[in-house]
Amino acid sequence: MSGLSLKAYQDAGTDFLTAGPARILGDEPGLGKTAQLVVAAARIGAKRILVICPSVLLVNWEREFRMWWSLYTTAPLPNIVRTDAKYKTLSRTEPTILIANYDKFSRRDKKARRCTNPWALFAVSTKWDAIIPDEAHALGNISSNRTRSIYGDLLRQNPVGETYWWPTSGTIMPNHAGELYPHIRALFPDAIAKPDGKPLRQSEFEDRFCDVRDTAFGRVVQGSKNIKELKKIVAPYYLGRRSAEVLKELPPLRFAEHPVQLKPTNDQVSALLKQSFKTIKAALAGCQDEAEVLATLQSQEVALSTQRRIIGVLKAEVIAELVDSELIGGVDKRIIFLNHTDAIDKTASLLKHHRTVVLDGRTPMTERQGLADQFQNDPATRVFIGQTMVCREGLTLTASNQVLLGEPSWTPKDNYQAAKRASRIGQTRPVLARLIVATGTVDEIVLRVITRKTQELAEFFG
């Protein structure tokens, strides 16, 4: 691609990655982490590379390798294989880039203590020059199957020092500092060594860097502490730049609540929403701190799930009306993120006259990038409706500077990452992300929790 080159801060990023065998690249979403990682792999002369990422990013990673590789090395691009294809036996010695999705590493035989998926079995039993876990916050739970497969089986076959390990995520600890522990323990345990030389255990790490409370629901990590000390510990191994530091021309991203009044379809639904809201408020009334609030909300998960689905469907009509009026009023495009397929389908149906593209979990992998490209490049395609958990990572949607978070996530980083799809390199306007809040529903309660958690993330990454 003519004129394509790394920016100065990206060059510095590749220098950081190649300076040691274990590095975490934590640049803010939209700053081009993928390009830095591809170039770093090329610069170390890597011939066998394993990328592990969410399914939605498989195609994008292949595109980035083809875009950047030949610009920084004369070595031929290794054969690229993606795990959305039918499994086939691969060479363990020939130059290969395997781009695998995390789901392949999530299935394990408990008795044999190993992966059961053939792609994962191949990956964890093979030697690699570089391993890149993308959106590596997915490995924040040390007990999960995927973490055991990647920081267990795969790491034993490819120890730090023999293989470059480059986890990357703009939000490596989306909820609290404890989510950093699996990365530190696996890749640079000496950084948290005790006087006897052994690394801190997870509980010891949490006691030191997390706000931990014992509740009726068990031990709950509700936040972070000693952030300055933690930043000093990880400083030699972690590089995370914010857009304000390296791209002052990048427009700011703002979040604002946009309250709406729902229109219940009948008296029964209206009564259900009101009663459910009262029940939850009453349950939370006796909570002494946020740890109990979170534990109580989780204890109401089934009831809340039903209510939130109903709210999402009811919001669809309100959101469609809002977007329709804005598009008719002369704005160019709008991005909408929702969670429930019922809400997605209803919103899409009401906005179909604006030429709308929909990307959710039902969309075939082979069509996803094309839909994002259509929204980016076709002036007549004016609405993008995406499922938050499917579209929050990797996609570029800078054709619009207005994002509607129709069903705000209970995890702040999900809302943040979704909105960042519009606030990436190439955006020329300030971006406003509106959280659509249904008044008199559980939305109001959840957003109070989200606000404090988002502030903790800002303190760490700021």
Domain hosting residue 346, numbered range = 253-461
pLDDT at 260: 79
Complete DSSP assignment for 81-94: EETTSPP----SSS
Residue type, 144: S
Domain check: are 450 and 423 in the same one? yes
Residues 186 and 258 in one domain: no
Domain co-membership, 232 together with 352: no
pTM above 0.75, yes or no: no
Residue 199's CATH number: 3.40.50.10810
193, 287: one domain: no
How buried is 86 (Cβ within 10 angstroms: 0-12 exposed, 13-18 middle, 19+ buried)?
Answer: exposed
User: What integer pLDDT is reported at residue 1 of this predicted model?
Assistant: 45
CA angle 160, 161, 163 (to 5 degrees): 70
Q: Do both 238 and 295 map to the same domain? A: no
Do 349 and 225 lie in one domain? The reply is: no
Residue 434's closest CA among 323, 344, 301, 291? Answer: 323
Q: What is the pLDDT along the chain (462 residues), one digit of tens a residue?
A: 446 889 889 999 999 999 999 999 998 766 789 999 999 999 999 999 999 998 878 888 998 899 899 988 999 999 999 998 899 889 999 999 999 999 999 988 888 788 899 999 999 999 999 999 998 999 999 999 999 999 999 999 999 999 999 999 988 998 899 999 999 999 999 999 999 999 999 999 999 999 998 887 778 888 999 999 999 999 999 999 876 677 564 446 778 777 777 877 777 778 777 877 887 788 888 887 777 776 777 677 666 788 888 899 999 988 998 888 778 756 789 999 999 999 999 999 999 999 999 999 999 999 999 999 999 999 999 999 999 999 988 899 999 988 999 998 877 888 888 998 998 888 877 788 888 888 778 777 777 677 566 557 545 653
Query: Would you state the pLDDT for residue 59?
Result: 82
In the beta sheet, which residues pair with residue 184?
none
* Residues 59 and 121 reside in one and the same domain: yes
Q: Which residues pair with 25 in a beta bridge?
A: 168, 239
- Rg (C-alpha) for the chain, rounded Å, is 23
- Let me know if residue 343 belongs to a domain: yes
| Domain shared by 220 and 283, yes or no | no
Is 2 part of a structural domain of the chain?
Answer: no
In terms of domains, do 391 and 433 share one? yes
Q: Does some domain include residue 1?
A: no
Boundary of a domain, candidates 244, 266, 288:
244
Asked if residue 440 is part of any domain, the answer here is yes
337-355 exposure pattern, b = at least 16 Cβ within 10 A, e = fewer: bbbbbebbbbbbebbeebe
Does some domain include residue 13? yes
Residue 81 and residue 138 in one domain: yes
Shared-domain flag, residues 90 and 236: yes
Is the CB of residue 388 less than 8 Å from the CB of residue 421?
Answer: no
Q: How far apart are CA 234 and CA 140, in angstroms?
A: 16
| Domain-terminating residue out of 244, 275, 293 | 244
Do 261 and 406 belong to one domain? yes
Looking up residue 446, the CATH number of its domain turns out to be 3.40.50.300
Query: Is residue 263 included in any domain, yes or no?
Result: yes
Q: What is the tally of structural domains in the chain? A: 2
Domain boundary among 244, 266, 290: 244
